[in-house]
């Protein structure tokens, strides 16, 4: 089976690697997003998929707008591929492109469709506090993740999962599911099932406003925002921008979901449960853990933060290094940029 692989981020690399490890598949080319400038040096950097492709000496195509790129479309036709495999490529394929492969275009999507169609399914399911998600393989059509479904595999979500940890797990699930999908599809052992439009939900692209923490929200809502949009959520501290990269909601309903190193919060609960303050205020500094912050409903532990221009710190190192005191307030100054 001759395959052209479309993908860009690290999430797509395990699927490409899996295809390359199975002799019944021949990856004849890889299509990925153009190199982007990153880091302090503002150097042009290849995507993770491009790096993986080059490591295997595969031809790489990088059109800036694939639907308008006649040269790339001509190259796709000339390859005479059986299947196009698409994993988080980052551009919408036109019907003209979808019609090119001999058999089909197959997509690996990071949710259980028809839930969380769109650009950010992993991030949005965390933001919404879901307890389970998974991977769906589907036949692509011209809609946004609206094609007929092939196979699904499920994954549980823990309280402290974030977009990176969940994405890593789902990428491995997707790699295995794609291989199973192609083999069964080739052998006629899969029935493509249309999606129920009435059940569809959406996972829109993440925007700058999604990163700003509003301390009037509940502790669990803020926690889900931080882990869903990891590592970019921000508040302000003493008038400067502060990234909040890891948190934990505090309360009896969470004790069994917390790791042993956070169980001290349960012992502290008789004291913590009596505390209160204005939204965003530090109400307690817990030895070995750091700041407990009042929210619109409940308390939130700051587990990991990053001051502007500084390295990532644990909550306790941040509290000690800044000489944080009870009563200090996060937020209150608009974060721009």
Which percentage of the chain shows pLDDT scores above 70?
98
The two structure tokens encoding residue 203? 């996972």
3 state SS of 121:
helix
Mean pLDDT along residues 105-131: 98
Q: Place 331 in a pLDDT band, splitting at 50, 70 and 90.
A: very high
Q: How far apart are the C-alpha atoms of 296 and 328, rounded to whole Å?
A: 16
Q: How far apart are the C-alpha atoms of 241 and 333, rounded to whole Å?
A: 9
4-43 pLDDT, tens per residue?
A: 999 999 999 999 999 999 999 999 999 999 999 887 778 8
Q: How far apart are the C-alpha atoms of 310 and 303, rounded to whole Å?
A: 16
At residue 336, the pLDDT reads: 41
At residue 41, the pLDDT reads: 78
Pairing of strands 312-314, 299-307: antiparallel
At residue 40, the pLDDT reads: 72
Check whether 333 has a pLDDT greater than 60.
Answer: no
Mean pLDDT along residues 197-210: 96
Tell me if the pTM is above 0.85. yes
| Among 85, 65, 106, CA closest to 4 | 85
Mean pLDDT along residues 143-148: 95
At residue 332, the pLDDT reads: 61
Residues in the chain: 337
The alpha carbon of residue 188 and the mean position of all alpha carbons in its chain are separated, in whole angstroms, by 33
282-316 pLDDT, tens per residue?
A: 999 999 999 999 999 999 999 999 999 899 999 99
Mean pLDDT lowest among 58-72, 73-87, 207-221, 323-337:
323-337
pLDDT, averaged across the chain: 96
């Amino acid at each position: 089976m001759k395959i052209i692989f479309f993908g860009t981020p690290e999430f797509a690399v395990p699927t490409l690697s899996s295809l390359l490890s199975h002799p019944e598949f021949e990856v004849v080319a890889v299509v990925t997003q153009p190199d982007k400038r990153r880091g302090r040096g503002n150097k042009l950097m290849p995507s993770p998929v491009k790096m993986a492709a080059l490591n295997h000496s595969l031809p790489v195509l990088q059109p800036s707008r694939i639907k308008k790129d006649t040269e790339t479309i001509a190259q796709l036709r000339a390859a005479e591929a059986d299947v196009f495999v698409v994993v988080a490529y980052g551009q919408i394929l036109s019907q003209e492109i979808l019609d090119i492969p001999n058999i089909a275009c197959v997509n690996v999507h990071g949710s259980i469709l028809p839930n969380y169609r769109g650009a950010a399914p992993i991030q949005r399911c965390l933001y919404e506090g879901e307890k389970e998600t998974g991977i769906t393989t589907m036949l692509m059509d011209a809609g946004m993740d609206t094609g007929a479904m092939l196979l699904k595999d499920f994954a549980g979500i823990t309280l402290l999962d974030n977009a990176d940890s969940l994405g890593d797990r789902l990428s491995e699930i997707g790699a295995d599911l794609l291989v199973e999908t192609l083999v069964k599809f080739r052998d006629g052992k899969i029935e493509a099932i249309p999606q129920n439009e009435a059940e569809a939900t959406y996972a829109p692209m993440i925007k700058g406003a999604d990163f700003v923490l509003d301390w009037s929200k509940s502790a669990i809502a803020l926690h889900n925002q931080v882990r869903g949009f990891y590592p970019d959520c921000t508040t302000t501290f003493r008038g400067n921008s502060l990234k909040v990269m890891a948190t934990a909601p505090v309360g009896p309903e969470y004790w069994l979901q917390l790791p042993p190193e956070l169980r001290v919060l349960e012992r502290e609960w008789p004291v913590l449960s009596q505390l209160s303050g204005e939204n965003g205020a530090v109400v307690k500094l817990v030895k070995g853990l750091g700041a407990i912050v009042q929210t619109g409903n409940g308390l939130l532990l700051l587990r990991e933060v990053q001051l502007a221009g500084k390295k990532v710190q644990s909550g306790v190192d941040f509290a000690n290094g800044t000489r944080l005191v009870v009563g200090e307030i996060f937020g209150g100054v608009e974060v721009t940029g």
